[in-house]
Amino acid sequence: MERVLKQGFNIDYSYNIYFTEGIFAPHNKLLSDFFQQRRNPDFKQKVLVVVDSSVWKHHPNLNQELQDYFKDLNDVVLAGPPLVITGGEVCKNDPQALESIVQAIDEYAVDRHSYVFAIGGGAILDLVGYAAAISHRGIRHVRIPTTVLSQNDSGVGVKNSVNYKGKKNFLGTFTPPVAVFNDYSFLATLDKRSWLAGISEAIKVALIKDLDFYNWIQAQVEDLPRRDSQSMKELIYRCADLHLEHIRNGDPFELGSSRPLDFGHWSAHKLEQLSNFEVLHGEAVAIGLAIDVIYSYLIGNLTESEALSVVNLIHQLGLPVYHPILSEVEGKQQLLKGLTEFQEHLGGRLTVVLLEKLGKGRDYHHIDGDYVLQAIDILRDFEKEYNRLDEVS
Amino acid sequence: MERVLKQGFNIDYSYNIYFTEGIFAPHNKLLSDFFQQRRNPDFKQKVLVVVDSSVWKHHPNLNQELQDYFKDLNDVVLAGPPLVITGGEVCKNDPQALESIVQAIDEYAVDRHSYVFAIGGGAILDLVGYAAAISHRGIRHVRIPTTVLSQNDSGVGVKNSVNYKGKKNFLGTFTPPVAVFNDYSFLATLDKRSWLAGISEAIKVALIKDLDFYNWIQAQVEDLPRRDSQSMKELIYRCADLHLEHIRNGDPFELGSSRPLDFGHWSAHKLEQLSNFEVLHGEAVAIGLAIDVIYSYLIGNLTESEALSVVNLIHQLGLPVYHPILSEVEGKQQLLKGLTEFQEHLGGRLTVVLLEKLGKGRDYHHIDGDYVLQAIDILRDFEKEYNRLDEVS
C-alpha cells in the first residue's frame, strides 16, 4: 500500500538596507541601535569582522574605530581581531581564503546567534556570506559593501558564492543577509577604475527596467566621472532600490530559468575569466551591455541611434565598450562557449535578457553567434573611433 | 542624511514523502509520475544518482534496475553512471567524498533544473544533500533513505551537513529536498544493529510529543526486534509524520535556540565521537535517551517506575542503555564538554529538552553535571543487571 505525507511551510525573509556615512564613527548610532533591537538579555552576541585587505590598507584607522565602537556596546562583543583577507576575485578562487573564515568561526566559537560582518567589495561579500551561510547551517551575516558595485548591486541581494575550478560562482547559496549598511564614506578611497566600474550595473538595471532612471544617468554624464558624490549617492540608492524590488517581486532564489538582472552578464562573466580577471567585473559588464545593446539593435528592437546613444553613454562615463581579446579567434570561440556555461549555471533552457526597447528587457532563448560577432566588430570600430577622437582633442 | 530600504519576501517550501516498495521496479509508477508532473517540454532533465556503498553491495541488481527504469522514461535521463560512495559517518568526515560529488555535478553538467538523487543511510543523505545545496546555489535534491533511521527521521527533514575537524555537522545548510521516497524494500537487507538502531528516534519523538505512539511502541516490543515488517512500516510512517509535523509547525530553519527533536542527542553526538563512530547514531541516541530519562526522573519529573519502564523498553527492543566509555574519567569530562559544543552549534543559551512527563518534552537551560554522572552510574548498574539476567536465562 502506498502512502504519502505532505510537507509544506513558509519562511519569511526580511532585512533592511541602511544608507549612512561613517558607520563606526562614535556619534553614529545606526549600528548600536541595530544591535540593541536584536539583543538577547541572556548573553552578549559575538561579532566576527572580516575585512577586505584593500579597505584595511586605505583606512588605517578602521581597526581603532572598530575597537572603540564595540567597546561602548553592551549587547555585543568582538569575537576576535578582524580577519583581513585579500579582496578581489582572487579570494573567490582560493579555497584557503574560505577555509580561513570557517576556521575563525570555529576558533572563536562564533555561533548561530552571533554575527559575521563582511566589510569590502563584492568578492569579499560573496566569500564571507558563503562561509557564514554554511557554518553551523547559517550564521547571521551583515554586509558593509565598500565599492559602488557592491553598494548598488551584489551587496544588497541574496546570493553568495565562491568559484570552483575557475567556474565563477559554481559553489554558493541563496542566503539573505540580516542587514546591509551602505556606508558612502568608503567610496572616497576607491581608485578611479573601481569608482567608474560600479556605474555599469546602474546602466544595466535602468536599461531593462526604468527609462526614467536611464535618462537621469544620461543627465549625470559629466558629474559621475568627476566623482560628484551627490550624483553617486543618488545613483547607488536608486540602483539598489531597483535591484531589491526586482528580487522581491521576481524569483528571489531563482527557481525558474530567467534572470533579468543578468542583462549583459553572459559575456561579462566569460570576459572576466578570459582576461584572468584583469578586467574588473563592472568593466566587463559595460562591455557586455554594449554587446547586448548592439545585438538588440541588430535584431531590430532598437534604432541605430538608440543603440549608439547607449554605447556613447558608456564611453562618456569612462567605461570600456570593447576589449581586444574578443576579436582573437580563441576569444570569440570562448565567448560563445560562455553562453553554454551561463545556461548550465541556471539550468534548463538558455535564457538571455535583451532589450525589447530602452527601459524594458525581454527573455530570449536563442542567441545568434553571428550577430554576437558582428556586434563585437561594430564595437571594435567604435573603440578605434573613440581613440582617434581622443588623440585629436 | 540617512535613508533605509526595506527588503522582504516569502519563500514557500513544500515536498512530499512517499512510502513505497521497489521504487525502481518496472511496474512502480511513483517515480515516473513524479518526473512527468515536473517535466520540462523544452529539454530532458538530468538525474545524477549517488549511492551508499553498502546499499550498492547488498543490492547487486540496483544498477541494472536503475538503468532499465530510466531507459523507459521520456522526461529525464541519467547524467552518468551512479556514483558509489562509502556510507556511514566516515563519508561526512572525508572532504574528498564531498569533492567527488561536486566534481561529478560539474563533469556531467548537472544544472539547477537537474536532480541529484541520494540513495542510502543518513550520512550519505546529509553529504549528498549538502553537495547539491551548494552546487550552482542549489540543485534539486531527492532523497531515497534506505535505513530505518533515515526513513523515520533525518531523511524526511530539511537539514544537510558534513563534519569539520571532527565536529559533527559543523558545515551544512537548511535546504528541503524536492521529494523523499521511503522504499521499505531496502530495509530487508539491513543488518540487525542498523534495523534496531533506527527505533531510537521513534522512542524519542514519542516520549516528547505523543504518549499514544509511545504506548503503541510498547505494544510492539516483541514484534519489532524479530523484524516484523508491518510493525516497522507503521513505526516509520508515524515517526516520520511526527517529525514533519514538528518541523512544519516549529522553527524549520532553527532561527531560535530550542531544538526539541534533539531530545537525548546532546550526549549522543558526543558519544558517537568518543567511540570513533563505532557506536551507531541510533545506538548513541538510545543511550542518550536513557541518560535524559533518568535525569528527568532525578529532577522529579518522572516517577521511578516510569523512568525504568522507558529504560527497560529500550533494552527489550535490543538497544543499549549504557556504554563503558561513559564511566571513564576522560569520557565523563568529554561528555560534559559536549554540552558546550551542543550550545555553540545552536548558539545562544544552552537549551536542552527533558521530559516534563511521558509524552511531553520541555526546554531546560541548565544541566547539572552531577545528575548526569549519577544517571550514568544508574545505567551502568542496569546494564550489569541485564547482563546477569541474560546469563541466567
Contacts of A7 in chain B (CB under 8 A): 13-17, 156, 176, 244, 247-248
User: Which residue type sits at A239?
Assistant: C
Is the residue at A305 inside a domain?
Answer: yes
Query: Would the pLDDT of B172 be above 70?
Result: yes
A12: closest CA of chain B, how far (Å): 5
Q: Do B298 and B202 share a domain, yes or no? A: yes
Whether A126 and A104 share a structural domain: yes
Asked if residues A356 and A301 have their Cβ atoms less than 8 Å apart, the reply is yes
Residue B158 shares a structural domain with residue B265: no
Please name the amino acid found at residue A55: V
Same domain, A242 and A211: yes
Say yes or no: B226 contacts chain A, CB-CB below 8 A: no
Query: Which range marks the domain in which residue B343 is found?
Result: 192-392
Find out whether A156 and A243 touch, Cβ atoms under 8 Å: yes
Q: Whose CA is closest to A350, among A360, A340, A359, A358?
A: A340
Which residues of chain B from 259 to 318 reach within 8 Å of chain A, CB to CB?
A: none
Residue A7 lies in a domain: no
Tell me whether residue A11 is in a domain. no
Q: Which three cell numbers stand for residue B76?
A: 529525464
CB contact under 8 A, A343 and B111: yes
How many CB atoms lie under 10 A from the CB of residue B176?
25
- Tell me the count of A-B CB pairs closer than 8 A: 207
Instruction: Say whether both B138 and B245 belong to one domain.
Output: no
**Do residues B183 and B199 share a domain?**
no
Within a domain: A3: no
- The CATH number of the domain where B367 resides is what? 1.20.1090.10
Instruction: Report the half-sphere exposure of A347 (CA within 13 A, side-chain side).
Output: 24
* Domain match, A197 and A325 both: yes
Same domain, B112 and B168: yes
On chain B, the residues whose CB falls within 8 A of the CB of A30 are 2
Per-residue pLDDT band for B16 (boundaries 50, 70, 90) equals very high
Closest CA relative to residue B307, chosen from B319, B317, B322, B292: B292
pLDDT in tens, A319-329: 999 999 999 98
First to last CA, chain B: 84
- How does the average pLDDT of chain B come out, rounded? 94
Residue B1: inside a domain? no
DSSP 3-state assignment of A246? helix
Flag whether pLDDT at B347 surpasses 70.
Answer: no
> Are residue B114 and residue B263 in the same domain, yes or no?
no
Q: Any CB–CB contact under 8 A between B15 and chain A?
A: yes
Tell me if chain B has a CB within 8 Å of the CB of A14: yes
pLDDT tens per residue, range B30-64 = 999 999 999 988 889 999 999 999 999 999 999 99
Q: How many domains does chain B have?
A: 2
Nearest-neighbour CA in chain B from A7: distance (Å): 5
Among the candidates B136, B164, B189, a domain finishes at B189
A4 assigned to some structural domain: no
Predicted complex ipTM: 0.94
Chain-chain contact of B161 with A30 (C-beta, under 8 angstroms): no
Q: Does B6 touch chain A (CB under 8 A)?
A: yes
Across the interface, whether the CB atoms of B111 and A348 are under 8 A apart is answered yes
Asked if B156 and B290 sit in the same domain, the reply is: no
The CA distance from A186 to A197, in Å, is 15
Q: What is the mean pLDDT of residues B314-335?
A: 92
Domain boundary residue, one of B189, B212, B243: B189
pLDDT above 80 for B346: no
Task: State the nearest Cα–Cα gap between A143 and chain B, in angstroms.
Answer: 14
Residue pair A339/A271 in contact (Cβ under 8 Å)? The answer is no
B153 domain residue, yes or no = yes
Q: What is the CATH number of the domain that holds B116?
A: 3.40.50.1970
Domain co-membership, B128 together with B213: no
Amino acid at B151: Q
Percent of chain B with pLDDT over 90: 83
pLDDT tens profile A164-207: 998 889 999 999 999 999 999 999 999 999 999 999 999 999 99
Last residue of a domain, one of B160, B189, B218: B189
pLDDT tens, per residue, chain A with 393 residues: 589 999 999 999 999 999 999 999 999 999 999 999 999 888 899 999 999 999 999 999 999 999 999 999 999 999 999 999 999 989 999 999 999 999 999 999 999 889 999 999 999 999 999 999 999 999 999 999 999 999 999 899 999 999 999 888 999 999 999 999 999 999 999 999 999 999 999 999 999 999 999 999 999 999 999 999 999 999 999 999 999 999 999 889 988 777 778 899 999 989 998 998 899 999 999 999 999 999 999 999 999 999 999 999 999 999 999 999 999 988 788 888 888 877 776 667 788 999 999 999 999 999 999 999 999 999 999 999 999 988 887
pLDDT at B332: 83
Give the span between the Cα atoms of A284 and A294, in whole angstroms: 15
Q: Could you tell me if residue A6 is inside a domain?
A: no
Considering only CB atoms, which chain B residues are within 8 Å of A174?
A: 137-138
The count of other CB atoms within 10 Å of the CB of residue B79 is 23
Report the relative pairing of strands B45-52 and B115-120 from DSSP bridges.
parallel
pLDDT of residue A346: 67
Do A197 and A185 lie in one domain? The reply is no
Q: In the predicted model, what is the mean pLDDT of residues B355-372?
A: 95
- Put simply, whether B137 touches A (Cβ < 8 Å) is yes
